[in-house]
Structure 1
């Protein structure tokens, strides 16, 4: 198995005063769980309420100094004292952790999950936390016949990012031969390509890793791109994936042949060398954000300075002392702008629409010695910390995205969405001095109508620097020395960074993919209307599986790493089903696919991001949401745990 579940062989040898000094840095909810693991009993749970979500604004407005999990400073002190007593008891004993009974484990799971939870949620969390150290997401072949069949079932994976490396590791566990085709010279996908200043993940790094290979080495809570790239590169190295990768190579076309159920995959290297490979299955791990989209602006080619997309930041480009322009105000621009404000002689930001932002004091915070110690040495802290991050990102947020059909207040879609709008507005008002600037940056659309970003004050501070100008007048044209806007002003600049997104609605673009009866995938999808069953399998395209395919992007459903594990689990269990049945191929039934996508469209339409009148990259040109998964992550987990043979046509 792939599991890297720590046996806690690194003992807690630090003096008591050192450990106690670490505690204020640590997350409170996981510490509660650690007390139970160290003592074997649950009395601390009866003295505390289950951890709940509380944000910076809510804490300030409550008149209490609420800490993580909604605990008061007095409760935090009690948790710290209980933990120190538990550590002392453990260290004076035989060095063995007590074995938690099923009853104690269930009580702890319920408490950490918020109290009143359903049995299926407990099962879901049990798998995610893996307290027993068992990796239940590995797909095993348990007979010699299956193992022999696996060796004759070659798979081609397209892309060596998060999903592609994950699929490779899991295929290798099954004994299935595979080849990865990667267009870049290195591993990491979007984290290899995006090298702009300030590029970092905007979910916690400690949840942005494989469940079987947790990373306790992140240097900051929201790691920079290069560190994330290194993580996936090291994962590939450790599991022997690199030797199976064809770098600097693209798939030009993939054609399915019904005779024998074979995919013919044509590849081309950067040197123009072409080759044809054959496989029994193809796994597309190209993702949604892999083809940069330059803005369609008159005169863009006439600009005489440097002009580039944020995902194609030129090596060696130095913005210091230059008059810089950033076109865009989404996630990439949000990270680039504070960096440019520090070094450019002048920075002009061209904003088409403002963004909502969560207050996040830890966004640029480095991981301290205490957190590192706890992740490595405090028994079960790393597991519960990962769970808490997961819980915070999903629970208590989803309902705020749903449209109340009886709600009619502009700028929000429900009472809870309005409350969130008020909290986010209060945060932004607390950070901005100028009423004119505040008017420009406060969105008029509902929270979650577009991607909500993370800010610790850095972005809003940057916009208020004397060398930074925020322009909201639309761009009319670009001329040789600058950008002309609708108000008639010419903004002279030396370089233009286009943080203008990707062709997110063109899945598997620009590959030519041809399935059964010569059906072309791009035509079936009408260019930009991608649909798949569970975002993974597609009618008329046997043995083709997608990771991060149509309608699998997460808005409030946790880490994309977790979602990728669900998708890979489903795809590989489909392959195992094929091996067990002896069939050559399987394709999703059209009626099953259609019912699922009707439900996807229905739920998406009832969300803030699917709300009529809201424009975002989640929608295609027809207004249909093609990017986002509209379901709770536990629902998607249940959908993808095990494929149903009745959902497929076998040949």
Structure 2
């Protein structure tokens, strides 16, 4: 059974929310003596909570609730986080006592009843002060959505015309994939009254968070960003949620919003063909050893980027006689204690997993082809204090401002991803920000491995930070120093029945071989073979230099097909994947509504708009470090082209996808 939600966190009306909280019911007791005791308990909790509170956030809350302008005239300090890749504003220490005193005076008598939602101008002013930078109209719109003051910050409001309402009776949408973006899309379709079915190949929802259940799997983005904005105050137990908690969260959201009855589990779409006569997609769906046919007016692919495991191209893998499995298909029945274990791969999954393997193995050999940039992460693996959850539940707007502060920190990454020609001309490597990040990461690594100069040499990357995904340190460096762990950086010749044979003839005999080698990110939609209008196929369209799309969501020749997190669909920053899943879902659902209201049978991305968009994208990508520095990582495809990320600033992209521009599409 899934324990869904704390009774407070699902409500936006805070006064109403507090009425439903146990603390509020305590204050309603008529007994003066009991009330006095509980007032004391409230005060004790408040005092403890203010010791763990983010006081920069709290001063904004105090100002909003009291109008105390002195809260806004305080000094802040810019503190580096995640190894210096980002920065967050913290309140200068000289103001801490004043903010705690003001918050105590405001909250000491119990829950606040008279709470108003700030007007847009006031909210924008406070966001500018907390963020330290002014917001233009697009920036404010995105920020307000992240602030999540509305029940559904990215909702689609639609009153169907009579013709569209009649058409809805027989209109069917198939969503392929039940991960984050699939759930977001399903929720939005349901709210608009559009019939849908989610086809999910696994036995549970959660997408990659169900697929990846290896030990120590967890998010590397704070839980207070890595969540839907239409859900409030979820009681996360850790600042960076584990795989199990993330999966439970996603299933809980799906249950709450009525998605589960629409999901077909254990089924996989293997082929999809456009029928021009009926303007439908004919889907071949494999389940339980049988293939059945399903028709859909619209198909939305939400299969994502991380769904197809990548096996290393190493000769002899199938010859190995021990236990061997990929991190996406972890064998929980294999006994690891005391075994000779080999680990291939040191990206996000391998680095996250390795310390656990080191703790149980007799010996562990980590096979590394290219070192990763590994940085510390504040509060990684740290439990959320009860006092912090109390603040979220009982202090009006504290949750909103805390979530907003985490969002602001993500917006400061873009400057470190671009080349600075002037900086390079003066002798710098990439840019001031990127070079500073390099030095911070190197200092961290050298400090951790100070006793092992040989490991420092093996662990120093030659490419720029952020050219590949930064990796969070889950104890990788500490594990390398254990006596039972060795780091092998020489080339692998092949895998044999006994273990891994190196190019120099050394054989590492193994009982278990773990493949932490990531995903086939370039194979969007695999294993589905989409055949569109006039026989158009993805293989034909993408033969030149890999997968492409329009806005990461549409592809010419494939009418009535949309995708989330499609080719070059990963924004450089801005919130988290959940935020973009909601944004993509809003755009796609609005496009579906446009189709319904148009009276047309199909909507298809124009080829000229697709071509022009991709030309601009290629030109903009030249300014970013990915293709020049990141070859070999998953950001760059086999053609040497950046195929995952988009090069524009996230707010520019956001401005394009708030609403569909139907001039970009052909209706037929």
Structure 2 length as normaliser, TM-score? 0.90
- Residue 301 of structure 2 aligns with which residue? 284
- SS of the residue 1:513 aligns to: strand
Matching of residue 529 in structure 1 with residue 546 in structure 2: yes
> In the alignment, which residue of structure 2 is the partner of 1:297?
314
8 Å Cα contact 2:83-2:437 kept in structure 1? no
From the superposition, tell whether residues 77 and 435 of structure 1 become closer, same or farther in structure 2 (CA, over 3 Å). Answer: farther
Residue aligning to 1:620: 637
1:175 paired to 2:193? yes
Aligned position for 1:213: 231
Give the alignment partner of residue 374 of structure 2, picking from 357, 368, 392.
Answer: 357
| TM-score of the aligned structures, taking structure 1 as reference length | 0.93
The Cα of 1:194 is off from its aligned counterpart by: 0.6
SS of the aligned residue for 2:626 comes to: coil
- Higher mean Cα deviation, 369-378 or 97-106? 97-106
2:336 matched residue in structure 1:
319
Verify the 8 A CA contact 2:84 2:436 in the aligned structure 1. no
Post-superposition shift, 1:32? 2.3
**1:106 aligns to 2:131 (yes or no):** no
Alignment correspondent of 1:81: 101
- The within-5 A match list for 1:561-600 is 561-600=578-617
Q: Which runs of 5+ in 1 are unaligned?
A: 60-66
* SS of aligned partner of 2:627: coil
Distance 1:566 1:226, change over 3 A: same
Q: CA deviation at 1:487?
A: 3.0
Q: What SS is found at the alignment partner of 1:253?
A: strand
Partner of 1:513: 530
| 3-state SS, counterpart of residue 16 of structure 1 | helix
Give the C-alpha shift of residue 408 in structure 1: 6.0
Q: 2: distance between equivalents of 1:226 and 1:411? A: 43
Cα distance in 1, alignment partners of residues 227 and 300 from structure 2: 20
Contact 1:154-1:280 at 8 Å conserved across structures? yes
Work out which of the residue numbers 44, 48, 55 in structure 1 matches 2:81: 55
Pairing 1:45–2:72 present: yes
Q: 2:570 aligns with which of 543, 553, 562?
A: 553
Compared CA separation, residues 612 and 588, structure 1 to 2 (3 A): same
| Corresponding residue for residue 120 of structure 1 | 138
1:378 aligns with 2:378: no
| C-alpha displacement of 1:497 | 0.3
Report what 2:55 is aligned to: 28
Displacement of 1:58 after TM fit? 6.7
Query: Aligned pair in 2 of structure 1 residues 221, 528: CA closer, same or farther (>3 Å)?
Result: farther
Task: Summarize the alignment of residues 241-260 of structure 1 with structure 2, pairs less than 5 Å apart.
Answer: 241-260=259-278
Could you list the runs of 5+ residues in structure 2 that have no partner in the other structure? 1-8, 25-38
Q: In the TM superposition, what is the alpha-carbon distance from 1:636 to its structure 2 partner?
A: 2.1
Aligned: 1:413 with 2:430:
yes
Q: Which residue of 2 aligns with 1:63?
A: none
Query: 1:71 and 2:91 equivalent?
Result: yes
1:4 deviates by 4.8
Change (3 A) 1:397 1:98: same
Distance apart, 1:499 and its partner CA: 0.6
1:3 CA displacement = 7.8
Q: Is the 8 A contact 1:204 1:221 kept in 2?
A: yes
Change (3 A) 1:131 1:585: same
Task: Give the structure 1 partner of residue 247 of structure 2.
Answer: 229
The residue aligned with 1:64 is none
The Cα shift of 1:357 comes to: 2.2
The 2-side partners of 1:643 and 1:99 are apart by 30
Matches of 1:439 and 1:411, distance apart in 2: 22
Worse overlay, 365-374 or 128-137: 128-137
Question: Which residue number corresponds to residue 285 of structure 2?
Answer: 267
The alpha-carbon deviation at position 145 of structure 1 amounts to 4.0
Per-residue deviation at 1:430? 2.1
Change (3 A) 1:397 1:102: closer
Q: Tell me, in whole angstroms, the C-alpha distance in 2 between the residues paired with 1:144 and 1:322.
A: 68
When residues 348 and 517 of structure 1 are mapped into structure 2, their CA distance, relative to the original with a 3 A threshold, is: same
**1:403 is matched with which residue?**
419
Structure 2 distance, partners of 1:462, 1:143, is: 63
